[in-house]
Amino acid sequence: MATGSTTPIPVTDRAEASALPSLIKDAGLFALVTLGLCVPIVSYRTDLGQGIGLVITSRWGTVFALCAAIFVLRLVQQLYLTGRARRRAARAPVAEGASRLAAILAPITLVIALTLPLLAALLTGSLGEGRYWIDLGILILTYVMLGWGLNIVVGLAGLLDLGYVAFYAVGAYSYALLSTVFGLSFWICLPLAGLFAAAFGVLLGFPVLRLRGDYLAIVTLAFGEIIRLVLINWTDFSGGAAGISSIPRVSFFGLPFTAGENGFAATFGLNFNAMHRLVFLYYLILALALVTNLVTLRMRRLPLGRAWEALREDEIACRSLGIDTTITKLTAFALGAMFAGFAGSFFAVRQAFVSPESFNFLESAIILAIVVLGGMGSQIGVAIAAIVMIGAPELLRNLGFLKAVFGEGFDPNEYRLLLFGLAMVAMMVFRPRGLISERTPSVTIAERGR
């Protein structure tokens, strides 16, 4: 192996020194497997050439760089793990750190979220300049809301829903169709969209009641795909793959955000600014997300919320104790779907355009990844996961030095989903309870705590 020589790992202690050759062998094996995996899919790239056929170019440099990276990573991981195991053995386990961290992070995140438009305006000079940040905030908050909504189904009730985006689509199309066909305003459509989505939630919930975990996941996946395929193919109803455009914009509870006399700015004696609508949208999604959060937190204290968590832990025990699993599952589906419906109609009013391509399986997977990384049940965890997963790639895109390292054509967004996938696996392997494992049971038995 060409990578065998690149091992300047400092040897700190005698026990590790004796284990080092075996560690190197282990890391070398990893590199060798990586080499095998890279042939030929990384080492030869196929491109459409000038003629008809594909042209192959070899890239062995990339392959060896990848193998070397895996080698070093594995070695570092092994050294770190042996070091940590020793330290852990010497010290009592610390379990409270995570929830304390969450307790600090939650108010900070909330304050930043509440003042983001102001911060953006102050830091960049004017509201117009801060547009990028507010847009990013809206995007992140949409995913926070979707994550919290899905969290009810997956995190609390333990029902793995892979078709969550279907309810998001139902909400979006409800508003799009009701407003363009019947001319209803956003404020009438918003609750209606939630209701429709909830109805779809129950509709899906009924047949899948008897299914166990992974079957349920697959059926919800199929359901989500069916909704999307119907939206694509039923052109008369949904506009087909072209989608629905020129959806009416949001109004300030009836006052349109226009420069005219009856507009928002004129009524409140402000100078007209196109940013008013964006700021309003920002606070709208923030309010919707916070309502989702609040409802979830209150539900967890209700008997129904407790039943959800009981269902997640053990369905058979749950049934034996007389909990009506039908109602429990259906309410979880309906409530989760309702919030997706709200988020969907918000999405439609913000974009002023919906098309089936926004609601593919990948979207479901991203929302699920947010919930999983957040720790399945932890509210702040989900919010932070959404910020990291949606915000980080956006920020990375603007970092110049990455381009300098990886070449001019480097676009972190290309790697975003790849990293999502890796992160999901890594979470399940290393921290199945989430980054911030704050998901404590609502009820604990004091005498026999674990």
Q: Does 75 bind other proteins (CB under 8 A)?
A: no
Closest separation in Å from C-beta 268 to other proteins: 46
Pairwise CA distance, residues 8 & 162, whole Å: 45
In sequence order, the 6+-apart residues with CB closer than 8 A to the CB of 127 are 117, 120, 121, 273, 275, 279
> What distances in angstroms separate CA 306 from CA 299, 311, 334, 379, one per listed residue?
8, 9, 17, 16
User: Of the listed pieces 101-109, 128-136, 220-228, 268-276, which binds other proteins according to CB under 8 A?
Assistant: 220-228
Q: Does 443 bind other proteins (CB under 8 A)?
A: no
**Contacting other proteins (CB under 8 A), which of 148, 164, 196, 223?**
223
Q: Which residues within the stretch 159-178 sit at the binding site for other proteins (CB under 8 A)?
A: 160, 162
Q: Does 440 bind other proteins (CB under 8 A)?
A: no
Measure the N-to-C terminal CA separation of the chain; round to a whole number of Å. 48
In sequence order, the 6+-apart residues with CB closer than 8 A to the CB of 39 are 63
**Binding pattern for the stretch 367-406 against other proteins, x by CB under 8 A and - elsewhere:** -xx--x----------------------------------
User: Of the listed pieces 140-148, 214-222, 262-270, 301-309, which binds other proteins according to CB under 8 A?
Assistant: 214-222
> What distances in angstroms separate CA 112 from CA 65, 107, 137, one per listed residue?
40, 9, 10
Closest separation in Å from C-beta 231 to other proteins: 11
199 vs 417, which CB is nearer to other proteins?
A: 417
Question: Phi and psi at residue 252, in whole multiples of 5°?
Answer: -85, 85
Q: Does 208 bind other proteins (CB under 8 A)?
A: yes
Q: Does 158 bind other proteins (CB under 8 A)?
A: yes
175 vs 223, which CB is nearer to other proteins?
A: 223
> What distances in angstroms separate CA 6 from CA 3, 31, 64, 67, 269, one per listed residue?
6, 12, 12, 11, 68
157 vs 278, which CB is nearer to other proteins?
A: 157
Q: Does 60 bind other proteins (CB under 8 A)?
A: no
**Contacting other proteins (CB under 8 A), which of 22, 46, 77, 115?**
46
Of the candidates 60, 85, 84, 73, the residue with the CA atom closest to the CA atom of residue 26? 73
Cβ-contact 148, 339 below 8 angstroms: yes
User: Of the listed pieces 106-114, 140-148, 342-350, 417-425, which binds other proteins according to CB under 8 A?
Assistant: 417-425
Pairwise CA distance, residues 154 & 213, whole Å: 11
Q: Does 100 bind other proteins (CB under 8 A)?
A: no
Closest separation in Å from C-beta 380 to other proteins: 20
Total residues contacting other proteins (rule CB under 8 A)? 60
188 vs 426, which CB is nearer to other proteins?
A: 426
Pairwise CA distance, residues 116 & 130, whole Å: 10
Closest separation in Å from C-beta 398 to other proteins: 20
15 vs 54, which CB is nearer to other proteins?
A: 54
> What distances in angstroms separate CA 262 from CA 279, 280, 372, 442, one per listed residue?
19, 17, 46, 50
Pairwise CA distance, residues 69 & 100, whole Å: 35
Q: Which residues within the stretch 251-270 sit at the binding site for other proteins (CB under 8 A)?
A: none
Closest separation in Å from C-beta 46 to other proteins: 6
106: tokens are 């939650």
Q: Does 84 bind other proteins (CB under 8 A)?
A: no
Of the candidates 345, 297, 39, the residue with the CA atom closest to the CA atom of residue 172? 345
Instruction: Report the interface residues with other proteins, using CB under 8 A.
Output: 33, 36-37, 39-42, 44-48, 52-54, 56, 158, 160, 162, 207-208, 210-215, 217-219, 221-223, 225-226, 229-230, 232-233, 316, 361-362, 365, 368-369, 372, 414-415, 417-418, 420-425, 427-429, 432
